Amino acid sequence: MTPDQEARHIMKKIRRHVRLMNRKWVELNQHSNEWQHRLDAVLEVNLFTAVAVLSTSPSPRKKEIKVQVEGTEKIPG
């Protein structure tokens, strides 16, 4: 194999790997977005449930909920 042929062969391999990595990146991004939507839906349901429970609470006092999401700063108090 001549150096020119070898270079073309290597470039073909690199292009193939770049396409594969690009496809994998798109898949990963799609899966990440799907999981984010699932997490958002769960958080929304949980917050709605917490509000519903508090609004039907027999206590006349207003209650406050403090939620800390992992990776965020601690809520004071």
Interval 36-64: pLDDT, tens: 999 888 888 777 676 666 666 666 555 55
How far is it, in rounded angstroms, from Cα 19 to Cα 12?
11
How far is it, in rounded angstroms, from Cα 59 to Cα 54?
9
Say which range, 5-14, 28-37, 48-57, has the weakest mean pLDDT.
48-57
pTM > 0.85: yes or no = no
* CA atoms in the 13 A half-sphere facing the CB of 10: 7
Percentage of the residues of the chain whose pLDDT score is greater than 70: 62
Task: Quote the pLDDT of residue 42.
Answer: 83
How far is it, in rounded angstroms, from Cα 63 to Cα 45?
19
Look at residue 33 and tell me whether its pLDDT is greater than 90.
Answer: yes
